[in-house]
Structure 1
Amino acid sequence: MHRPQRLVSNQRKHLLTATWEGVPAVIYQTLLGGPFLTGYLLYLGAESREVGFVLAVTTFFNILQILTAYLIQRLQYRKKAMIVFTILNRLMWGATGVIPFVFDKQWWLPAFLVMYMGAFIAGTVSGMLWTSIISDIVPSKVRGRYFGIRNTILNALGAVVLFVGGMILDRYPGGTGFLILFILAWIAIAVNLSLFFLYPDPPFEHSKEREFWPMVKKPLADQPFIKSTLFLGGWLFLQTLVVPLYSYAMLDVLHVSYAVVSIMTVAQTAIMMMGFYVWGNLNARFSNRRLLFWTLPIIALSCLSWGLLSLLPVIPVLLLSHMLLGAGVGGFNQLAFNFMIGDTPKGDRPMFIAMYSAITGLASFLGPMIGGQVFKFMEGTPDWIQQYGFQAFVGMVMLLTAFTLGRKILRDII
């Protein structure tokens, strides 16, 4: 007897679409970001201050999300606007790869900054819209587990791409290696953009507020939300003083190879991958805020562990630091995302997301900017200060902050 083929629900199709869209996205983001972005900036002639600025400026644009959250209330559907701004983001970021071929060398870095900032202004808008749509697609009861599995899959792929990219740059140093990376990234961008057309376009539940300031005041008046957000903003300021500059410290201070940097990032990603699954399952039992608290000391220990360079060889210390970072930051990012889309009222969710992104984005902008300046200032100091002193000091401050202010705010608000 013939049995009818089991119908796949629209909801399941939408979850699969979101997962598959992430595959080419993580490929191009890995090839154009992380240690490869730092390496490309150094190739273009950047110093620590410029590296810190580039790593920070994308988060600064999160402030624009407040205006975006207000404007999208005029939309009944969000997909078309998401696709337009996604295309702008991908094309401008990918186009930074042609800079050495179309500009004189003295214009390489300025051209990169203009194109990169333009890409992430568009990316701020598209990211806001994507987050709004994905929060409607993924049911709240499976949200923690779904994002845990999705992030595990995508980070496994990211680890492979990191390893391959590092081998390419070691075998083809300089412009040739980066050209190969950009060609692969351009292919991934083309595939990624095509998959965005498969996203659903669910009706948009609008806020009851119609004016800008009353809409902005909603998240500001929510005491548990704003207290947690302000604390997490302060935490990200401390974290981004050093963590985004790990690659710079390894490449330009410790003088390790791209292959070693890639291996460290792969180890970080492997631990992050396992952590996504663990944090996702724990999220079914414990609140986002409580679990966020337990990620903080792990991240602090990642920074503090750089102090072991005074006793141990470079490779084991860097490996330990990156493994701790993977366990902590992976959980932090996943839980913070669930906090934004799960602990907020649906109709006002875009403004809550925007407020969180603006506050934490400003903090994450200032952190690498100041961190880059500190690394520049440390150039004349003893080697131990340049290699691990600053990282270890910030790690100690973070650990104390986690077990004092962090414990009070994130553990007391359940």
Structure 2
Amino acid sequence: MVKVNPPSFASKLRRKGSKQRTNLAIATWEGVPAIILQTLLGGPFLTGFLLYLGAGSRQIGFVLAITTFVNIAQIGAAYWMQRIRSRKRMLLLFVGAHRILWSATGLIPFLFPQEWWVSIFIGMYTVAFIANTIGGMIWTSLIGDIVPAKVRGRYFGIRNTILNALGSVCLFVGGMVLDRFPGGTGFLILFIPVWICAIANTVIYFFYPDMPFERSKEKGFWRMFKKPFQDQSFLKATLFLAAWLLVQTLIVPLYSYVMLDLLNVNYQTVSIITVVQTLVMMMGFYLWGNLNARFSNKTLLFWTLPIIALSCLSWGLMSFMPVLVALFCSHIFLGIGVGGFNQLAFNFTIGDTPKSERPMFVAVYSALTGVTSFLGPLIGGSLYEKMEKWPEPMTWFSTYGFQMGIGAAMLILTFTLGRRVLLR
């Protein structure tokens, strides 16, 4: 009889390491069709598609804002998650619904009368992002368990760099398509790869591991809901970041609107500007990821804020320099700052919170910042609508003066309240 030795401890570790690498590879590959879909449906292309459908600045502001406002639904989702058996199945359901509904907005001009286009788009877009906010909550919880804490900062830095490199190519190609085929034809061409990627992205989620879920120690909703509010460090940082995002989103989400509608910059140029922003963001992801191995999430978050403020202040360069120089400078600062902010805010919510209570902490952060990020573009869009009626000598204010004022307010907020909250 042949004696079979049990697997050694070293072989178990190797298998575990191999499985982790496979899971990380799946999470990276899943992002490929996702970034293509998000790039061709979001950013300047979303603004352009809304202008094609006939939307005004206020409606554009609402659409840009609704994606964050629906984050309030994450509070209910965090409690509901404690009762589901499989995070993977629910992820497939909600993320799949988001991808299909958002990509289906491309069919609106072919199926409905023109006077309904904007209203139907807003309805479909809202439902899609309600599904996405629940799916995003589940994904955040799941990816936090998939990616080991010791490599989290560096992994997301590398993953974001790879995906944004692909996104920059899509931005450039998409801009060329819309300039060569203006109007409905160009958008139809863009939606064809979007429909393919919506299906591919949903399919790849089938390969995600269904990791064991450490549930909350609290059983009742209110006891679970109060946990984040009892963590003073988390609460102060979240409230400050919510206030910061209210100011930031007054203008930053409307950059594309100002370029396309007020400055009459063509799609290809806007795409090139956004590609440069993305390339800088890619380098930033890697840099912030490496710094995150040495410094805390909150410390690095603080230093992204003045860089974003400089993005707004840079619009003032067009008062004495060529418009494109100002726009490129602004988007370079934006790429460095917002890329770092988003990556570090994500690491903050999954790394600086207790694992068993993480869904509710993420939900409270998303809800508070979501409300302010919803109000910002709405207020900004309404202000631009009023500025359109101002006399000709005041057009400078809508093209760069407003941005400079917001940038100054952001710097003051950073070095007063932000320094006390994030650097202590």
Give the TM interval when normalised to the shorter protein.
Answer: over 0.9
Q: CA deviation at 1:380?
A: 2.4
> What secondary structure is seen at the aligned counterpart in 1 of 2:423?
helix
Give 1:103-122 correspondences, 5 Å limit. Answer: 103-122=112-131
* 1:61 aligned residue: 70
* 1:264 aligned residue: 273
* 1:153 aligned residue: 162
Whole-Å separation in 2 of the counterparts to 1:301 and 1:402: 12
Whole-Å separation in 2 of the counterparts to 1:239 and 1:198: 37
Q: CA deviation at 1:22?
A: 0.2
The one-letter code of the counterpart of 2:173 is V
The one-letter code of the counterpart of 1:399 is L
* 1:325 aligned residue: 334
> What secondary structure is seen at the aligned counterpart in 1 of 2:219?
coil
Q: 1:355 aligns with which of 329, 351, 364?
A: 364
- 1:399 aligns to 2:411 (yes or no): yes
* 1:200 aligned residue: 209
The one-letter code of the counterpart of 1:279 is W
Q: CA deviation at 1:263?
A: 0.7
> What secondary structure is seen at the aligned counterpart in 2 of 1:61?
helix
The one-letter code of the counterpart of 1:32 is L
Whole-Å separation in 2 of the counterparts to 1:374 and 1:263: 28
- 1:50 aligns to 2:50 (yes or no): no
* 1:344 aligned residue: 353
* 1:366 aligned residue: 375
Provide the aligned length of Structure 1 versus Structure 2: 408
Assess if the C-alpha contact under 8 Å between 1:229 and 1:359 holds in 2.
yes
- 1:217 aligns to 2:226 (yes or no): yes
Whole-Å separation in 2 of the counterparts to 1:238 and 1:260: 27
Assess if the C-alpha contact under 8 Å between 1:68 and 1:125 holds in 2.
yes
- 1:386 aligns to 2:386 (yes or no): no
- Give the gaps of 5 or more residues in structure 2: 1-10
Q: CA deviation at 1:184?
A: 1.1
> What secondary structure is seen at the aligned counterpart in 2 of 1:347?
helix
Structure 1 segments, 4+ long, off by >6 Å, are none
Q: 2:99 aligns with which of 68, 90, 113?
A: 90
Give 1:248-287 correspondences, 5 Å limit. Answer: 248-287=257-296
- 1:411 aligns to 2:423 (yes or no): yes
* 1:187 aligned residue: 196
Cα RMSD for the two superposed structures: 1.0
Q: Give the structure with higher Rg (CA).
A: 2
Whole-Å separation in 1 of the counterparts to 2:86 and 2:148: 19
Whole-Å separation in 2 of the counterparts to 1:271 and 1:86: 29
* 1:36 aligned residue: 45
Q: CA deviation at 1:76?
A: 3.3
- 1:316 aligns to 2:325 (yes or no): yes
- Superposed CA offset, 1:227-261 (max 9, x none): 00000000011110000000000000000000110
After superposing the two structures, state which structure 1 stretch, 8-17 or 39-48, moved more.
8-17
* 2:4 aligned residue: none
What TM-score do the two structures reach when normalised by structure 1? Answer: 0.97
Assess if the C-alpha contact under 8 Å between 1:289 and 1:410 holds in 2.
yes
Assess if the C-alpha contact under 8 Å between 1:75 and 1:204 holds in 2.
no
> What secondary structure is seen at the aligned counterpart in 1 of 2:356?
coil
- Superposed CA offset, 1:41-92 (max 9, x none): 0000000000000000010000000000000101232100110111111111
Whole-Å separation in 1 of the counterparts to 2:268 and 2:325: 15
- Give the gaps of 5 or more residues in structure 1: none
Q: CA deviation at 1:106?
A: 0.3
- 1:19 aligns to 2:28 (yes or no): yes
* 2:176 aligned residue: 167
After superposing the two structures, state which structure 1 stretch, 286-295 or 377-386, moved more.
377-386
Assess if the C-alpha contact under 8 Å between 1:302 and 1:322 holds in 2.
yes
Assess if the C-alpha contact under 8 Å between 2:53 and 2:118 holds in 1.
yes
Whole-Å separation in 2 of the counterparts to 1:87 and 1:43: 26
Q: CA deviation at 1:191?
A: 1.1
Assess if the C-alpha contact under 8 Å between 1:76 and 1:203 holds in 2.
no
Whole-Å separation in 1 of the counterparts to 2:200 and 2:245: 33
The one-letter code of the counterpart of 2:351 is G
* 1:144 aligned residue: 153
The one-letter code of the counterpart of 2:263 is L
What TM-score do the two structures reach when normalised by structure 2? Answer: 0.95
The one-letter code of the counterpart of 2:131 is A
The one-letter code of the counterpart of 2:399 is Q
Whole-Å separation in 1 of the counterparts to 2:78 and 2:359: 5
Assess if the C-alpha contact under 8 Å between 1:90 and 1:189 holds in 2.
yes
Assess if the C-alpha contact under 8 Å between 2:318 and 2:325 holds in 1.
no
